[in-house]
Amino acid sequence: MPASTLHDVLQRIENAIPAGSGSRPRLLAVSKTRPADDIAAIAAQGQCAFGENYVQEAAGKIATLAGTGLEWHLIGHLQSNKARQAAGLFDWVQTVDRNKLVQALATHRGAGRAPLNVLVQVNIDDEASKHGCQPGDVEALATAIAAHPNLALRGLMAIPAPHPDEARRRDAFRRMKALFDALALRHPQVDTLSMGMSDDLELAIAEGATMVRVGTALFGARRPAGDSA
């Protein structure tokens, strides 16, 4: 892995920040299918937040890298029967899209631990194949999350459709930003809008992303065998 890769991605983020914006979006390094050694190599360059798609796959890496101070985000769909394990392993769950999951995570997040940071995942392009709640469901879910002291409502996450037309992708990011601003009016603790990946992080940041999730641009192309979503 070229040592300049993390630097290059951070530079892309820096260059994408709109003029006049005071804050720098966070980088979440998406490490699905990557071995713990690859994660350790990026961490050694100063990256601390990593995203994983599968609870089981993450469990092994989190154990291997325990004690290194990394922050772990679940960014893949979470089945309710894995909520207990996820609530114990992760610092953030970005894919909360139904009330049953809110209740399960709240039940299983140990009271002695820091609150579990939670993002509501929105199916912003209303794709039948995608997880995420409808825009109209965001407020009820946010209120349910905010009612639990061991969950911290932090904001919204989306995976817009990879539409070839840039204007369509921009529009999805804009609709997410409008939802995010409306949510922040009612829940002032909200500070995270997670959207944008390797191919479109500039567009997402231009439209207000505060966190981008980047895999391929950091680690190289994934092996097809491990690439199911």
Tell me which residues touch ligand PLP (CB under 6 A).
Answer: 30, 32, 53, 75, 159, 197-199, 213-217, 229
Closer residue to ligand PLP in complex, CB, 27/183:
27
Can you tell me which residue has the tokens 């997670």? 194
For ligand PLP, the nearest residue by Cβ is: 215
Distance of closest approach, residue 186 Cβ to ligand PLP, in angstroms: 26
Closer residue to ligand PLP in complex, CB, 32/154:
32
Closer residue to ligand PLP in complex, CB, 32/177:
32
Q: How many CB atoms lie within 10 A of CB 50?
A: 24
Give me 148's structure tokens. Answer: 């639990």
DSSP assigned state of 50? E
Distance of closest approach, residue 33 Cβ to ligand PLP, in angstroms: 9
Pairing of strands 151-158, 92-96: unpaired
| 30 and 214 Cβ atoms separated by less than 8 Å | yes
Distance of closest approach, residue 199 Cβ to ligand PLP, in angstroms: 6
99's CB contacts (< 8 A; 6+ apart) are: 140, 141, 144
Closer residue to ligand PLP in complex, CB, 89/197:
197
